[in-house]
Amino acid sequence: MPRQERPLDQEDEVLSQFAAGLRRLRAHAGNPTYRELGRRAHYAASTLAEAAGGQKLPTLPVTLGYVRACGGDVAEWEQRWHEIATALADRENEVARQSDGEPPYVGLAAFQPDDTAWFFGRERLVSELVERVRNERFVAVFGPSGIGKSSLLRAGLIPALGNGAVVFTPGPHPLGELAARLAGTDPGDGRDEAVMVVDQFEEVFTLCTDQDERARFIDALVAATSDGGRRVVIGMRADFYSRCADHPRLAAAVCSTQVLVGPMAADELRDVIVKPAAAVHCSVEGVLVTQLVTETDGRPGVLPLLSHALRETWRRRSGNRLSLAGYQATGGIAGALSRTAEREYAAMTPEARLLTKRLFLRSIALGEGTEHTKRRVRLDEFDLTESGAHDVLTRLTDARLITRDTGTVEIAHESLIKFWPRLREWIEADREGLHVHRQVTEATQSWQALHRDPGALARGTRLAIARAWAAEDPGALSPVERKFLDASNEAETRERRTTRRRVRQLRWLAAGLTVLLVSATALAGVAMRNERDAAELSRIARSRQFAAQADAMAGRDTGTATRLALQALKAHATTEARSSLLTLAGRPTSHGLIPAPALALSSDGQRLATPGPEQTLAIWDVPRRQQTTLIQAVFPKITARPGVSILGAFSQDGTRLVTVTDAGFLILWNPGPGGTIAVVPTPRRIRAVAFSPDGTRIATVDQNQTLELRDAASLRVLVTATGSGEGSDFASATYSPDGHTLVTTAGRERIVLRDPADGTVQATLPASPYDTKPLAFDRESGALAVPDPSGGIALWDLRTRTVKLTARNVGPVNGLAFDRTSGNLLVTGNDAVTVWNRELTWPVKLAETGATTPATGGGTLAVTTTAGTLLWESDSLPILTFSQVDDLAFDAAGTGVLATGTTLTRRWPVAGPHTDGRPMANGHPGALRQRLGKGGGLSAALLPSGDIVFDDLVSGSTRRTLANPGGHPKAALALTPDATTVAAVYTPPKPLTSQIGLTVWDIATGRVLADLPTWNSSVAFSPREHLLAAGEGDYVEIWDFATGTRRTEFSTVTTDQSLHKQQVSTLTYSPDGALLAVALIDGTIGLWDALSGTKVTDLPGLTVAPTTLAFSPAGRFLVAGGNDGAIVIWELATKETWANLNNRNPITAIAWNDTETTLATAGQNGVLRLWPVDTTAAARQLCASLTQRFPAAAPDGETACAGS
């Protein structure tokens, strides 16, 4: 019988109540002894007794171990522990605040020059940057959000440079900011050369909406380094790097010297954690340092969260020591930020909460293909006369959630946008409304800048949408925005009155009753049309709202996103609805979700095992996404609680399943009819389990790195191979496909190749730097994929013990698995799920979420995330080709798509399965340009030598080689639509020594048809006989190559913009040869009359230079793709944007199928995607997907699929 516990001390009511709850939990479990609890929880009995003693708060792991041992609700007690820890910390905080002044950790805000005393960890990078600035006049600093760029520049570089440096951010009007800095710095004042640091340079693209001002600012900034004798340093988020290519002078400056800010090394992270505290004579517990380094090492974007967690831990310190308990009380790195925001929000009145919501939503610039960014907001955008407005600003500023400057306010760091769930929900709940609000704000500012000119007021549809939005939330408007809308409404009312007055005058002037009746009928028709127009506007608004919500949910919940996209199209066929629908159909973020973590996937991909309640196992039908069996385990000879399954593996034939429980049991299940075959306790925690390919043995690796080989029928131990004894939470075990090798890892030990019969070591491979060491065998080649010591993935040939292929800069890897259908490699990490092709050349990001436990089988891919098990179907994934695709073409039958690159030309079936693709011809390494003939029967490659090689894609042999005509080849190559004629551009060996330029050949005979005196590098053949277009710079020429005469030429300079913005990027002819589409580097696409050279129209929608253009075969559409990943489709009948496909990778090639129903795109990363362009077919596809793959997301009753 357990001994009586001593009474609780009632002096500390908070602790005594917590301890009393633990004691009641123990009593409810039958009052087991603390020795028995210790055995269950794997903690010492004295530690558990102390936890219920009421003298101090136990650590979170001890608390949860106690609760699990007593069978309590772990989630409930975890929440209770955090509440108690916060209450105790707040109680102690008053004492802590009285000492030492300001914390040495800055939290979310960037370090400023005055914070240099607390700035540690970047000493090496600061030294490198200072050296670069002294040697170069323009330095660009790039890095992902949250990597510490602003802090590096402000607290590292500027103090190191001394008095000669100034820093500013561009804001919405960068020219004004630059002018102020240029006026305040004089390079001739006797000091060192003035250095201008432009932080958050991406604001030039996100906040400055005036493209001309943006260009003039960039030109002036670059010019200041040469003309003004100044040095310039810019800091910019890496995801905006491609935008530099839109501005040639900026691109040239950036290419000359740049500094990439990467994640800190472990020793640098320790400095960040320990040295600020040491500077104020405080210390950090060693166990806390270790945990923080482990949680942050290798994770970009985590530094603001670390700094915030440390600042919150400082508030909960004990004396002069930062402890693990204090850190856990903050919610840790993952929870401290959202907990702080929620704490402040919860303490507010309802009115203050509404003001807070409006403040944060105003302070965000919505991302278009990029993450949302913070927006600096002028205080006059807020109604500061509202009750409590000043208090809200003060409270949020004191909590370091926002920062204030003279007349402006902004979110402290973009991490808040990403990691505060409530803020994300606000954004996603009304993304379309935020777009409308931002348009109102910008229009109001323009109206103000034009001295409230009536011509700048809103009118028509724009005013109707703004008015409808404002009616739903009138308080969201600032005073000046309210005046703008009021003035717009009044102007519209006046215009209507004027119209009605004119109608009345006309009526009085009417000559008779007939005319009056006609007028009345006309007015009634106008009223009816206005009513119809209002209903139409409402449907358009609903469609856009649904589409915006679908886009916001696409990365997190594909089922809900699909339903919303279908509702958007049903409401109205807007551009936004088509874009959302076609993007989801062509690039789904997942193909299903099972709401439970995966234990094991059967080799045929039909069944998934997930943990059920204790002593149960759930089996799911994967194709139907339904749980079919809940197996109840029976243990006739075991009285201990077996626990919940946490690891598992199916046998190859799927007839047995082995799992490991958190209580230390190994269980063998029969997943078919259901039931348990065997169960055994294990003395140490098992970290890895695997079936042998023949199903006769089960291998396990425990926490001490000991390998055991067991009989697969009885779980009896046959072989034991003792490990090093060093404890580890991570291990792996896997058999080679032929069963001849067993590979194991544990902790930071090397990767061990063993004899599967007796476990003896055959060889070892270098270890990864990370604790997790997943392994995966390619069933076809037998190669072994492992994380390598450099932070990449290595593919080993175990026969030669050599590395076949390597993928670099992958980062921490949680899991690896080869897809049995395509041979692609599935990789899970801390913040993404990616899939790599067999050559390990480029990854495709499937999901932006941390994941573990990847598994593949029968064409199904599965990974475990916090939401459950995400599923993909291999046939529906993008095609992974090679490093870069130069050209695409559908075959003559339309059933296959061909891609050509420098390594190979391959063909893939349009309908799948998307395996490696059938080789059609060898590649030409180093080729300057490659082209495919229509129908995919011929490929052409322009070699560095200037020769052109033609490959027959039916036989795979070389058909003909055309010799260099005697010049230097440019990367310009074009084929006629029927692939009978080719053109290439050459420059003379010496200037003006010959007329060599654009050479045209007959491919069949090899005869030169024309040598044209032009060196333009954008070339396209017309479908009309003997015509081609050549463009470069700001001119386009139309040539008749049969006669060698120039038919016409025209300049692309049609506006007063900078000349370089209107230079030719690429061009192409319409199928009938009547139109020539010319793309400029500023993103403008002009349609020109192909014979006269007169401008027909410009197409809207692009802001960067397209790299490729393609008319659809019947001429209904024109599509453009560029380096920013944008794919824009225009309908030529209306000259309006028809759809924007949300692609994430640069585009280098585009092709249409003959029926205009499918679009193929590919890019620099070798990813080939097939996009449906028929909205009816796409809606049917998504409806089927919604019903089959996401049944939980399909609404009851009338659905968006009705009528599809």
Q: CA angle, 968 as apex, 964 and 970 as ends, to 5°? A: 100
Q: What is the pLDDT of residues 690-706, one digit of tens each?
A: 999 999 999 999 877 78
Q: What is the pTM of this model?
A: 0.56
- Mean pLDDT across the stretch 999-1003? 96
Q: What is the pLDDT of residues 778-817, one digit of tens each?
A: 988 889 998 876 668 889 998 888 888 888 777 778 889 9
Which amino acid type is present at position 961? T
Q: For residue 1096, what pLDDT is reported? A: 93
Domain that holds residue 362: 348-423
Q: What is the pLDDT of residues 17-72, one digit of tens each?
A: 888 899 989 888 888 888 888 777 777 777 788 888 887 788 887 888 899 889 88
Q: What is the pLDDT of residues 895-904, one digit of tens each?
A: 889 998 877 7
Q: For residue 353, what pLDDT is reported? A: 87
Tokens representing residue 417 in the block: 């946008």
For the stretch 1098-1105, contacts whose Cβ atoms lie closer than 8 Å and that sit 24 or more positions apart, written own/partner, are 1099/1130, 1099/1135, 1099/1137, 1100/1136, 1100/1137, 1101/1128, 1101/1130, 1101/1137, 1101/1140, 1102/1126, 1102/1128, 1103/211, 1103/246, 1104/242, 1104/243, 1104/245, 1104/246, 1105/245, 1105/246, 1105/1065, 1105/1079, 1105/1080, 1105/1081
950 and 910, same domain (yes or no): yes
Judge whether 961 and 950 are in contact, CB under 8 Å: yes
- Mean pLDDT across the stretch 1082-1110? 88
- Mean pLDDT across the stretch 1069-1088? 92
Read off the CATH number of the domain in which 92 is found. 1.10.260.40
Is there a domain that residue 1093 lies in?
yes
Cα of 633 vs its chain's centroid, Å: 42
Residue 1196 has pLDDT above 80, yes or no: no
927 and 1060, same domain (yes or no): no
Burial 589-607 (b: 16+ CB within 10 A, else e): bbbbbbebbbbbbbbbbbb
Q: For residue 240, what pLDDT is reported? A: 76
Which residue in 470, 465, 463, 468 sits closest to 487, CA to CA? Answer: 463
866 and 898, same domain (yes or no): no
Q: What is the pLDDT of residues 901-926, one digit of tens each?
A: 877 788 888 876 666 678 888 888 88
Residue 506 has pLDDT above 60, yes or no: no
Q: What is the pLDDT of residues 734-782, one digit of tens each?
A: 999 999 999 988 656 678 899 999 999 988 887 655 555 688 999 888 8
912 and 967, same domain (yes or no): yes
Is there a domain that residue 763 lies in?
no
822 and 950, same domain (yes or no): no
Q: What is the pLDDT of residues 4-24, one digit of tens each?
A: 676 776 556 778 888 889 998
Residue 1003 has pLDDT above 60, yes or no: yes
1057 and 1132, same domain (yes or no): yes
158 and 248, same domain (yes or no): yes
222 and 303, same domain (yes or no): no
Number of Cβ within a 10 Å radius of residue 836: 23
Q: For residue 48, what pLDDT is reported? A: 85
- Mean pLDDT across the stretch 1146-1175? 89
Specify the higher pLDDT residue, 42 or 113.
Answer: 113
1091 and 1108, same domain (yes or no): yes
Read off the CATH number of the domain in which 217 is found. 3.40.50.300
Is there a domain that residue 269 lies in?
yes
933 and 974, same domain (yes or no): yes
Q: For residue 748, what pLDDT is reported? A: 60
Is there a domain that residue 692 lies in?
no
396 and 312, same domain (yes or no): no
d(CA 284, CA 298): 21
Q: For residue 451, what pLDDT is reported? A: 76
Is there a domain that residue 303 lies in?
yes
Is there a domain that residue 752 lies in?
no
Distances (CA, A) of 132 to 90, 163, 182, 373: 46, 18, 22, 28
Is there a domain that residue 285 lies in?
yes
What sign for the dihedral angle of Cα 781, 784, 786, 789?
A: negative
Q: What is the pLDDT of residues 870-893, one digit of tens each?
A: 888 887 777 777 667 889 999 988
Q: What is the pLDDT of residues 1012-1040, one digit of tens each?
A: 988 888 999 999 879 999 998 888 999 99
Read off the CATH number of the domain in which 1105 is found. 2.130.10.10
For the chain, the average pLDDT equals: 82
1102 and 1003, same domain (yes or no): no
Is there a domain that residue 40 lies in?
yes
d(CA 933, CA 540): 42
Q: How many domains does the chain have?
A: 7
Residue 228 has pLDDT above 70, yes or no: no
d(CA 245, CA 256): 13
Number of Cβ within a 10 Å radius of residue 440: 26
Read off the CATH number of the domain in which 307 is found. 1.10.8
